[in-house]
Every structure is written in C-alpha cells, then in structure tokens.
Chains A and B, each alone.
Chain A
C-alpha cells in the first residue's frame, strides 16, 4: 500500500531564506498531491494542490513541484518569516476514491 515519507526532524531556517520540505511516496503515482499547514492545537489548513500532469504550482511565496519519476514533491517557502513556523503535511489520493493518505508532517521553525 502507499506510504508517504516526510522528514521527521524539525527544519530550522533563518528568516528571509528559502525553506524546502520534501514529501516522498513509495508506490503508485497519485493523481494529485496536496500540501497543508497545521498549527499546534488546530486543524490542517489547505495550501496547494498539484496534479500528476503538472510539474510546478505557485501561490504567492509558496511553490510546489511534483516529480513522478523520483516519486517526490518539494514544497518551497521563499522569503520565509517567523509566522511561517508550523508543521507542514503532504497528502495524496489513497487506495479508494475518497481517502487521502497523509504524511506525518515536517515541523518548520523560522528563526528571526
């Protein structure tokens, strides 16, 4: 079955730099992949969705890439700010039409 791997170690980045988070999947290529942000004690908040036929998607300071050959998505935050500190989760369509499979998330810490 499909598994998702995200870096379990926290990522510490200096303010103003670009943060890059990785999401690797192990099995079939999903039709689409989503990135969410989660703050402590809150539910995940949707950020970006990228489809299998798209190589890159952008939204303001956010950029997502999708490489089906490497079975990997990268999530970039440019000009990072302390307010970007959160856990970032990737999710992709699962074995059924309705399920999403989620990674464990990567905690991002932006230091002033």
Chain B
C-alpha cells in the first residue's frame, strides 16, 4: 500500500492559463474522488469515478473543470481558463469497491492563481 499520490504538490499560474493535476490512487481501489478545499473549510466534492466511468459530478462544478480516468487507474483534473477563485487545495481520494468504506486521501495539489 503505497498510498494515494498527487502531482504536482504546488502549482502557481497566471489567471487564464490551463492547469492539469494528476492523481494515482491505491492500486486495489476502483473508486476515485476529487475534492476542493479552501482555508478553514472542509473538502467540497467535485466528482467521482468508479473504474473509468465518471458517475457523479457536482452541480457546482463549472464547465471549465474536466476530469478523466482513462484506464480506471490514474486520474487527471484539468481546469481551463483559471480564475482567482480557483485558488485552493485540490484533493484526490480513493476507496475500495464496497459500500461505506473510508476514503484514503493524497496530500493534495495547492493551486495559486496570480
């Protein structure tokens, strides 16, 4: 169990640029989640994958955000035309293929928009 890894750990970019983050879940976990977290708040759900299928997406999620999990293993989250309000910690989590299981988180990618 090598844990969930996320890359990069930090990303600084100018407003209007596109950014892409990567998440490698725990290998036996078929469920993968993306969250956004701002200072002093809990994680906010963005989207969920079961294997390669994106089964749920937050209604709050702008169409500038897109996520993929092409082979049911690693996942990418892309933000197009970044805005100041996108500055946050982006967290990825994975869990086993059973109901009501705890989620295992990576240490996130901190995005700063200049």
Q: Tell me the count of chain B residues lying within 8 A, CB to CB, of chain A.
A: 25
Residues of B within 8 A of A51 (CB): 100
Judge whether B106 and A43 touch: CB under 8 Å. Answer: yes
Q: Which residue of A lies closest to B110 (CB)?
A: A41
Judge whether B48 and A98 touch: CB under 8 Å. Answer: yes
* Partner-binding segment picked from B13-21, B35-43, B67-75, B76-84: B35-43
Interface string of A11-37 (1 = CB under 8 A from B): 000000000000000000001101000
Judge whether B42 and A89 touch: CB under 8 Å. Answer: yes
Judge whether B56 and A41 touch: CB under 8 Å. Answer: no
Which residues in window 44-61 of B have CB below 8 A to A? 44-45, 48, 50, 55-56
Q: Interface residue tally of chain A, by bracket?
A: 20 to 34
Given contacts A43-B4, A102-B43, contact A49 B108 (CB under 8 A): no
B7 on interface, CB distance cutoff 8 Å: no
Distance in Å: Cβ of A30 to nearest Cβ of chain B? 10
A46 CB contact (under 8 Å) in B43, B50, B56, B103: B103
Bound complex: CA of A42 vs CA of B45, how far in Å?
17
Residue among A42, A49, A100 with the highest chain B CB neighbour number at 10 A = A100
Ordered by A's residue number, 17 sampled pairs between the chains whose C-beta atoms are within 8 Å are A32-B100, A41-B107, A42-B108, A43-B91, A45-B105, A46-B102, A46-B103, A46-B104, A49-B100, A51-B100, A91-B42, A96-B56, A98-B50, A98-B55, A99-B48, A100-B45, A102-B42
